[in-house]
Amino acid sequence: MKIRRYVAKNTQEAILKVKMDLGSEALILNTRKIRKKGLLGLFSKPLTEVLAAVDEYGQKLASADKTGSSQSSMSNFVDDSDKKEEKIAILENRISGIEETLRELCEKVLNGSRPTVGTEAVEDSKKLKAGFAEVFYNNLVSNEVDPEIARKVVNAAASRLPASAGVSEMAAQLSGIIAGLLGKPETIKENSEGKPVTVIFVGPTGVGKTTTLAKIAANYLLNRKKSVGLITADTYRIAAVEQLKTYAEILGIPVSVVYTPAEMQEAISQYSDKDLILIDTAGRSHKNKAQFEELKALVAASGADEIYLVLSTTTSWKNCREILKSYSFLRDYKLLFTKTDETPVLGIVLNVRYMTGKSLSYITTGQSVPDDIETVNVDKITKNLIGSYLKDGPS
């Protein structure tokens, strides 16, 4: 194993250096902020120091990766920003430390100082397994996974493992089950018939519908070179229309404002030459039935190919359940989660997916248009849900 130290202006640059030098398989052991030595250093901006390691095998893999990478992903939504990869590497590093400590602790508690033999040893490993299961259950619940769901997945993982299974086997089994539950994300599909794909965004006020729509519009326009038309039915607030108009103006794409289902149909027919039509709607109060009837009519009139229910990861699970009830009139939709940058815990993603059975799609990770959007990365979410380290770890 080769360990190297890298110093750069910021983490992103440091990670880039690591990757250039050691390849993408390099393991980040530690990152920290440092200052230049001496008095001048006190006034300078801190630098980032990264300790990274790679073994021979990893490096070979990395260099093989590099040759293939240019053809690999055509996706517009950058799944693995350097910053995130770095966080994951640090977290992975921590989990192995936690695993080790856990094992030692459990062994101490269960065995004391006496050696275990025969049936006693079997009994003890069962207890050990139950102890691990409890730790994972607690982690899931503290990451805001619904306790019932957490219990189910932990029991399922435990039942698939032999009594002698250790914490890593439990983690792997649990990861598999959770990743399976999260399912494969589904994003906007291309329309093969040369017709535009019509996509409508619905969800509570302030979750980020308009911003997300602008991110998707910009990505389709700039990265995929597709023609895009925007429609807004959010006519409750003048500011909402202005917000979308501003994005449309910057991007140089048309926007239609519609007040009625008939106007919706009219606007869609005017965009028949476009590749993609994105429709914004107003958030509804789940206490106001009439508003939902209106929304229902607008969604029906849009004849949208795809409906995205936009939810914020900062919403409490209790509120979210109410929201889901209000939108239960939608027959087919996908889940789009926003504001993952504002919360370290993502239990709500699993809860909603589990409860609705609808596919995950994109997540948004900040306010920046068009960058802060990604296709859901199931592995990242799984790791977030299983780990207990996020809250005191890097955010």
Ligand X SMILES: Nc1nc2c(ncn2[C@@H]2O[C@H](COP(=O)(O)OP(=O)(O)O)[C@@H](O)[C@H]2O)c(=O)[nH]1
Measured from the CB of residue 98, what is the shortest distance to ligand X in angstroms? 29
Among ligand X, Mg ion, none, the one that 341 touches (CB under a kind-dependent 5 to 8 A) is ligand X
Shortest spacing between CB 376 and Mg ion, in angstroms: 22
Q: How far is the CB of 285 from ligand X (least distance, A)?
A: 12
Q: Which is nearer to Mg ion, 209 or 284 (CB)?
A: 209
- Three-class secondary structure of residue 32 per DSSP: strand
* Partner in contact with 344, chosen from Mg ion, ligand X, none, beta carbon below 5 to 8 Å by kind: none
Single-letter amino acid code for the residue at 374: E
Rounded to whole angstroms, what are the CA distances from 270 to 228, 231, 264?
A: 12, 11, 10
**How far, in Å, CA of 372 to CA of 11, rounded?**
18
Considering CB distances under 5 to 8 angstroms, the limit depending on partner class, which of Mg ion, ligand X, none binds residue 380?
none
Q: Which of ligand X, Mg ion, none does residue 46 bind (CB under 5 to 8 Å by kind)?
A: none
Q: Which amino acid is present at 151?
A: R
Per-position b or e across 223-254, b if 16+ CB within 10 A of its CB = eeebebbbbbbbeeeeebbebbeebbeebebe
Query: Which residues, at least 6 apart from 122, have a Cβ–Cβ distance to it below 8 Å?
Result: 163
342 binds ligand X (CB under 6 A): yes
C-beta of 275 vs 374, nearer to ligand X: 374
Shortest Cβ distance from residue 172 to Mg ion (Å)?
41
Q: Using CB distances below 5 to 8 A depending on partner kind, what does residue 313 bind out of Mg ion, ligand X, none?
A: none
What percent helix, strand, coil does the chain show, rounded to 5? 50, 15, 30
Angle at 338 between CA 30 and CA 382, to 5 degrees: 50
Residues 6 or more apart whose CB falls under 8 angstroms from that of 94 comprise 387, 389, 393
In whole angstroms, give the CA distance from residue 295 to residue 286.
12
Q: Which of ligand X, Mg ion, none does residue 372 bind (CB under 5 to 8 Å by kind)? A: ligand X
Site residues for ligand X, window 280-309 (CB under 6 A)? 283
How many residues make contact with ligand X (CB under 6 A)?
17
- Quick one: tokens of 292? 């939902």
Query: Residue with the closest Cβ to ligand X?
Result: 208
Q: Which is nearer to ligand X, 59 or 377 (CB)?
A: 377
Choosing from 338, 351, 361, 384, the residue that interacts with ligand X (CB under 6 A) is 338
Kindly state whether residue 143 participates in binding Mg ion, applying the rule CB under 5 A: no
Q: How far apart are CA 385 and CA 297, in angstroms?
A: 37
Per CB under 5 A, 210 contacts Mg ion: yes
Whether the ω angle into residue 196 lies within 30 degrees of 0, i.e. cis, is: no
Write the burial class of residue 296 (CB in 10 Å: 0-12 exposed, 13-18 middle, 19+ buried). Answer: middle
Q: Is 367 in the site for ligand X (CB under 6 A)?
A: yes
Give the Cα separation of 307 and 309 in Å (integer): 7
Q: Nearer Cβ to ligand X, position 164 or 368?
A: 368
Smaller CB distance to ligand X: residue 229 or 283? Answer: 283
Residue 207 contact partner, candidates ligand X, Mg ion, none, CB within 5 to 8 A by sort of partner: ligand X
Binding flag, residue 365, ligand X (CB under 6 A): yes
Which CB, 28 or 363, lies closer to Mg ion? 363
Rank residues 171 and 310 by Cβ distance to Mg ion and give the closer one: 310
Q: 234 to 263, contacts with Mg ion by CB under 5 A?
A: 240
Rounded CA separation 352/348 (Å): 6
* Segment 188 to 207, residues that bind ligand X, using CB under 6 A: 205-207
- Which lies closer to ligand X via its Cβ, residue 50 or residue 188? 188
At 65 the three-state DSSP class reads helix
Q: Which residues bind Mg ion (CB under 5 A)?
A: 209-210, 240
Q: Which residues bind ligand X (CB under 6 A)?
A: 205-211, 283, 338-339, 341-342, 364-367, 372
